[in-house]
């Protein structure tokens, strides 16, 4: 698995491409807004697989898209 920074960057890139705000994605992914912002900014370097799975589902992408 790559570093948390890359996961955060990938989430941010895909989210922006879809035109979603962090608030939109946190609601779609059913995670706390603060959790999403921490993962995106790299504060949380190794988010749980459950969190990554929820974000991937919210973005409608495979988990692999976020961790590559």
The number of folded domains in the chain is 1
Taking alpha carbons only, the member of 4, 3, 1, 2 closest to residue 42 is 4
CA separation for the pair 66, 59 (Å, rounded): 10
**How does pLDDT run across 14-65, given as a tens digit for each residue?**
999 999 999 999 999 999 999 999 999 999 989 999 999 999 999 999 999 9
Residue 22 domain-assigned (yes or no): yes
CATH of the domain at 10: 1.10.260.40
Range of the domain at 26: 4-63
DSSP three-state, residue 2: coil
pTM for the whole structure: 0.90
Residue 31 domain-assigned (yes or no): yes
Residue 68 domain-assigned (yes or no): no
């Amino acid at each position: 698995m790559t570093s948390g920074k890359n996961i955060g960057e990938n989430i941010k890139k895909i989210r922006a491409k879809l035109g979603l705000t962090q608030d939109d994605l946190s609601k779609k992914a059913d995670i706390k807004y603060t959790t999403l912002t921490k993962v995106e900014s790299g504060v949380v370097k190794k988010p749980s697989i459950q969190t990554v799975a929820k974000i991937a589902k919210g973005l409608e992408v495979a988990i692999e898209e976020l961790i590559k």
